[in-house]
């Protein structure tokens, strides 16, 4: 085979056409000869639909890229150059439970932060580590690009418990760049943001427009009510005095930590009888509509409805990252990787989300230095929760799991953490064999 082999684990995802679109648009610089879409038997029907759609997209683009589908991930991985993980263990049904269960205790329910993110991580980490073992055996030189949520936590597990070359990717930073460009009336190519923090806990420390620092101007616009959010997060407005004191641009996900009570009220209202449902329940409707579109044999390009799914700019982020590695571009990308001294006050091995110089050797974090004390305190607490969660997921140790959940800033007490953990283990019993017999 001449050209690259790219394997997508979770290939039946509604996100896949985003990735296919990106690969086709960058075909001149990224010669993908084979795209393998792998999924599990429960996802066989969706995989077939997405695979057929991807082939139509490739034909319309006149691309030489062959698209294969398989229920055997080892077949997909054999000889792959790049592996993309975009799986959701338990599907949207598990996400619905993740979002609803914490509300019973007056705690936020969300798929990547708080108890919902914890449950998601417990299910996902063992699966990712199994994939890593297959990569080590079948394509040891491949790069793993992890998009599976919670992306930073899952990447932490892969880097601590495997020797696979792995970078975690999230579309929040690129969304923030695109939104900043819109608010400033600028071309996104002229916007640069210095990102630092953790996945879904990242700040824009400085925003530059053609090299000129415009951080204060963007913060003023946010203080005046300009929107910087995403489809899955309510557009609650930022307090101007808080933003001035912070001096950095918060990510949309910071609302969960800075506006906890208000977001909890929003979630409770949405989940109540007569409400629109949790975000996962809303996504179920979006997915149903998307797959109706994907089944249309006349459809051969990414539909605009896909933007409602929440993965905007995923393809741009993922494909440009793969291109930077393959072509040794030495470009700046925001990824999840080992800290290696970039953020002062954090362990060198801890996975952080920062700007990195990316080439064929991977990602080299750019120095950040000190974060403001308030930000560093929150980062340290969330990182402690993440490290405990990784070890609990790997070991099946219930005591570690309780320590992890109790350490999460969105869980108000150890007593509530204990009750939540019992419910999480019971609700996810089929996905957590390491915790068998524990409830």
Please list the active-site residues. 253
Query: How far, rounded to the nearest angstrom, does the alpha carbon of residue 348 sit from its chain's CA centroid?
Result: 22
C-alpha to C-alpha distance for 180 and 381, rounded to whole angstroms: 28
Which DSSP letter does residue 436 get?
T
Output the CA torsion 207→170→168→39 (10° steps). Answer: -160
Cβ(39)–Cβ(332) below 8 Å: no
DSSP assignment string, 186-222: --GGGEEEEEEEETTEEEEEEEEETTEE-HHHHHHHH
Q: Is 30 exposed, middle or buried (0-12, 13-18, 19+ CB in 10 A)?
A: buried
Indicate the helix (H) or strand (E) that contains 226: none
C-alpha to C-alpha distance for 429 and 182, rounded to whole angstroms: 45
Cβ(99)–Cβ(109) below 8 Å: yes
Cβ(287)–Cβ(92) below 8 Å: yes
Cβ(370)–Cβ(345) below 8 Å: yes
Give the 3-state secondary structure of residue 34: strand
Cβ(170)–Cβ(200) below 8 Å: yes
């Amino acid at each position: 085979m001449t050209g690259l082999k790219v394997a997508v684990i979770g290939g039946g995802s509604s996100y896949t056409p985003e990735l296919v679109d990106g690969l086709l648009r960058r075909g001149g610089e990224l010669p993908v000869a084979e795209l393998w879409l792998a999924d599990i038997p429960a996802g066989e029907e969706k995989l077939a639909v997405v695979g057929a759609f991807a082939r139509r997209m490739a034909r319309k683009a006149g691309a030489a890229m062959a698209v294969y589908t398989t229920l055997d991930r080892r077949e997909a991985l054999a000889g792959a150059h790049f592996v993309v993980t975009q799986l959701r263990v338990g599907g949207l049904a598990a996400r619905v439970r993740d979002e609803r269960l914490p509300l019973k205790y007056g705690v936020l329910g969300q798929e990547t932060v708080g108890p919902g993110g914890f449950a998601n991580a417990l299910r996902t980490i063992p699966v990712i580590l199994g994939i890593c073992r297959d990569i080590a055996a079948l394509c040891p030189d491949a790069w793993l690009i992890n998009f599976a949520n919670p992306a930073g936590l899952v990447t932490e597990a892969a880097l601590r418990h495997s020797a696979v070359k792995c970078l975690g990717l999230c579309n929040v930073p690129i969304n923030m760049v695109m939104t900043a460009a819109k608010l400033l009336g600028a071309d996104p190519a002229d916007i640069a943001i210095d990102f630092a923090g953790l996945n879904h806990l990242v700040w824009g420390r400085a925003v530059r427009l053609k090299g000129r620092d415009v951080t204060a101007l963007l913060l003023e616009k946010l203080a005046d009510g300009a929107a910087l959010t995403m489809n899955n997060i309510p557009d609650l407005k930022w307090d101007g005095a808080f933003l001035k004191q912070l001096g950095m641009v918060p990510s949309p996900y910071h609302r969960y930590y800075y506006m906890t009570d208000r977001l909890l009220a929003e979630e409770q209202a949405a989940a109540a009888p007569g409400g629109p449902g949790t975000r996962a329940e809303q996504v179920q409707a979006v997915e149903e509509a998307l797959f109706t579109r994907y089944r249309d044999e006349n459809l051969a390009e990414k539909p605009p409805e896909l933007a409602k799914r929440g993965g905007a700019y995923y393809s741009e982020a993922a494909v440009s990252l793969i291109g930077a590695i393959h072509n040794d571009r030495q470009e700046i990308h925001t990824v999840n990787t080992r800290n290696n001294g970039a953020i002062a006050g954090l362990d060198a091995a801890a996975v952080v989300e920062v700007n990195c110089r990316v080439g064929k050797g991977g990602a080299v974090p750019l120095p950040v230095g000190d974060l403001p004390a308030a930000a560093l305190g929150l980062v340290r607490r969330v990182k402690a929760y993440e490290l405990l969660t990784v070890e609990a997921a790997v070991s099946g140790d219930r005591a570690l799991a309780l320590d992890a959940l109790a350490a999460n800033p969105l869980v108000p007490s150890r007593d509530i953490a204990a009750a939540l953990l019992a419910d999480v283990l019971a609700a996810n019993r089929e996905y957590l064999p390491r915790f068998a017999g524990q409830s």
